[in-house]
Amino acid sequence: MLDDFFIRALIAGLGVAIVTGPLGCFVIWRRLSYFGDTLAHSALLGVTLAYSLEFNIAFSVFIISSLIALILIQLQKRTNLPGDALLGLLAHSSLAVGLVVIGFLTFIRFDIMGLLFGDILAVTVDDLLIIWIGGPIILLILKLIWKPLFASTVNYELAEAEGLNPDRAKAVFTILMAGIIAISIKMVGLLLITGMLIIPAAMARNISSSPQTMVIFSILGGLLSVVLGLFTSLEFNTSSGPSIIAASLFLFILSLLNIKQSIKLKN
Amino acid sequence: MTSNQNILVKLNQAGFRIKDKWLVKGVSIQIEKGKIVTLIGPNGSGKSTTAKIALGIYKKIDGEVEKYTNKVGYVPQKISIDWTLPLRVRDFMVLTENLKDEDINEALSLTGVIQLKNKNLGDLSGGEFQRVLIARAISKKPDLLVLDEPVQGVDFTGEIALYKLIKKITDELNCGILLISHDLHTVMSATDHVVCLNGHVCCSGSPIDVAKNNEYKALFGEQASQILSRYEHRHDHIHTSKGEIKKN
């Protein structure tokens, strides 16, 4: 069954969607979408390093993304530049350095489009293993830090005052973000991974009244987007990563209609 | 009563500054089980800062803080919650600790907002939200309650009822309370120890002592002093707002 590239793509996509669902909710709640973008851009550097040192891609991306996150935290402490400027600085410079490094690696043929937008149909059995082992680990750790992370998202001082150690939870969450980017980079690509994080969660926000339901809808939305997107890409021969994101956009628009209806009902 | 086991938090010459500006300096207070310590003082005198030092929110401080409990309930003066979070009152109640449904209901009933349990936090009025904040802080049955202007925005009858509730809870749980309040009437009704701040401890002691203190008079005026000394302790019944009755 795993011989079929389409089945592999489906299993990979579903595995990623289960993890991006809850992480995406935190990305929205904590206003981290540009942070996610920055980590994703830096992933290109990770990929090039993986190729040049013959390293595992997911592992190398994870290391580089974590490193960029650390650098960001240090820059925030040591400079007076606003957060978004620092994010932009890191995102584009790491992307640029990654592309420059690619220029030096003339002996390897890079599929730049695949890197930027993902190539879910080229997913191997090894990739599946990484997703289905790494994904549950990320979810487990997220469950362990849920209380302090969520409490400090709502209000930092309450969490700190009542002994929850929000700083540690934040640091762990940053590493989890690097982790999800590492395991999903091959599938949706570095330009679209933030979309995979944000759009299903945004859709879920429109139809949820509690954090738990938002997480569940976010996962369901991601799963549905993967299925819809992949079948569309098979049917119309469109590229798979963008098709998945487009499918999630479609679901988001549907969720907006739901809001309009409920407002009408109220009146 | 001053045996060491009863001490919950102890500040020893504690102070906090941002760069060269001291927000508060040289504060020594201790909060014990079953006692209410009240901080009073003009705006900007460092009351909230002192509370945050005691809570461990500010870490780079001068002096020492010894905290002997982690079971803390905190009602901050200002709370900026992102109202775009999908958060109902019941979700907010279990923010820092998992609670049984009965405990949630009991706390919400005590502060008179049980009917708001399934409402979105963003849809509450200021006074309603304040009641939820107090309910959340007491529901976890803390050893130490830190209440920073806990009844701001609450209607007049509610204010009295809530202060009575706070007093009752201290007795029931035998917890220590650090209270910050502008209402001198209420401060005097239940407080064991008053600390008058103005960037530093300007005077402290029992309410009567503080009322007689000249520095206090200089800070608050003669009238405030009369409020303190004239206060009479008189209440014979308890009712929460909206006629809610506590179930046992």
ipTM at complex level:
0.83
Q: What is the CATH number of domain A5-260?
A: 1.10.3470.10
Q: Which of B57, B73, B87 sits opposite A154 (nearest CB)?
A: B87
Q: From the CA of A153, how many Å to the nearest CA of chain B?
A: 9
Cβ within 8 Å of residue A108, ≥6 positions away: A51, A52
Q: By the CB < 8 Å criterion, does B52 face chain A?
A: yes
pLDDT of amino acid A261: 59
- In chain A, whose CA is at the least distance from the CA of B56? A161
| B contacts of A210 (beta carbons < 8 Å) | 86-88, 91
SS3 assignment for chain B? CCCHHHEEEEEEEEEEEECCEEEEEEEEEEEECCCEEEEECCCCCCHHHHHHHHHCCCCCCEEEEEECCCCEEEECCCCCCCCCCCCEHHHHHCCCCCCCHHHHHHHHHHCCCHHHCCCEHHHCCHHHHHHHHHHHHHHCCCCEEEEECCCCCCCHHHHHHHHHHHHHHHHHHCCEEEEECCCHHHHHHHCCEEEEECCCEEEEECHHHHHHCHHHHHHHCHHHHHHHHHCCCCCCCCCCHHHCCCCC
CB contact under 8 Å between A205 and B86, yes or no, is yes
| B contacts of A214 (beta carbons < 8 Å) | 86
Query: What does the domain layout of chain B look like in residue ranges?
Result: 1-71+143-151+173-231
CB contact under 8 Å between A210 and B87, yes or no, is yes
| B contacts of A212 (beta carbons < 8 Å) | 91
A243 versus B188: which is more confidently predicted? A243
* Fold classification of B1-71+143-151+173-231 (topology level): Rossmann fold (3.40.50)
Beta bridge partners of A156: none
Q: How far apart are alpha carbons A214 and B189 in whole angstroms?
A: 46
CB contact under 8 Å between A213 and B86, yes or no, is yes
What are the Cα distances from residue A253, in Å, to A25, A27, A127, A212? 18, 20, 32, 22
pLDDT of amino acid A258: 65
Q: Which of A151, A159, A210 sits opposite B86 (nearest CB)?
A: A210
Tell which residue, B175, B167, B100, has the closest CA to residue B143: B175
Q: Which of B55, B86, B97 sits opposite A161 (nearest CB)?
A: B55
Per the document, the length of chain B is 248
Residue A79 burial (10 A CB sphere; 0-12, 13-18, 19+) = exposed
Q: From the CA of A212, how many Å to the nearest CA of chain B?
A: 9
Give the pLDDT of chain B (248 residues) as one tens digit per residue: 445 678 898 898 888 988 888 888 888 898 998 889 999 888 888 899 999 999 988 888 888 888 888 889 999 988 877 767 899 999 999 999 899 999 999 999 988 899 999 999 888 888 899 999 999 999 988 999 999 988 888 888 888 888 888 888 888 888 999 999 877 777 766 788 888 888 888 888 888 788 777 777 777 777 666 665 544 434 344 545 554 444 43
pLDDT of amino acid B236: 40
Q: From the CA of A27, how many Å to the nearest CA of chain B?
A: 12
pLDDT of amino acid A64: 92
pLDDT of amino acid B146: 94
How far from the centroid of its chain's Cα atoms is residue B68's Cα?
A: 18
Q: Which of B81, B86, B96 sits opposite A159 (nearest CB)?
A: B96
Residue A170 burial (10 A CB sphere; 0-12, 13-18, 19+) = middle
- In chain B, whose CA is at the least distance from the CA of A27? B85
Q: What does R_g of chain A's alpha carbons equal in angstroms?
A: 19
- In chain A, whose CA is at the least distance from the CA of B95? A151
Q: Which of B86, B96, B97 sits opposite A214 (nearest CB)?
A: B86
Tell which residue, A131, A140, A139, A179, has the closest CA to residue A2: A131
pLDDT of amino acid B152: 85
Query: What does the domain layout of chain A look like in residue ranges?
Result: 5-260
pLDDT of amino acid B59: 84
| B contacts of A151 (beta carbons < 8 Å) | 95-96
| A contacts of B83 (beta carbons < 8 Å) | none
pLDDT of amino acid B125: 86
Q: By the CB < 8 Å criterion, does B65 face chain A?
A: no
The pTM is what? 0.85
- Is residue A234 pLDDT above 90, yes or no? no
Q: Which of B72, B79, B96 sits opposite A151 (nearest CB)?
A: B96
In this prediction, what percent of chain A has a pLDDT beyond 70? 95
CB contact under 8 Å between B88 and A210, yes or no, is yes
How far from the centroid of its chain's Cα atoms is residue B239's Cα?
A: 20
- CB contacts under 8 A, B 85-104 vs A, are 85-88, 91-92, 95-97
A139 versus B209: which is more confidently predicted? A139
Cβ within 8 Å of residue A228, ≥6 positions away: A244, A247, A250, A251
Query: From the CB of residue A193, how many other CB atoms can be counted at a distance below 10 Å?
Result: 26
- CB contacts under 8 A, B 110-149 vs A, are 120, 140, 146
| A contacts of B70 (beta carbons < 8 Å) | 163
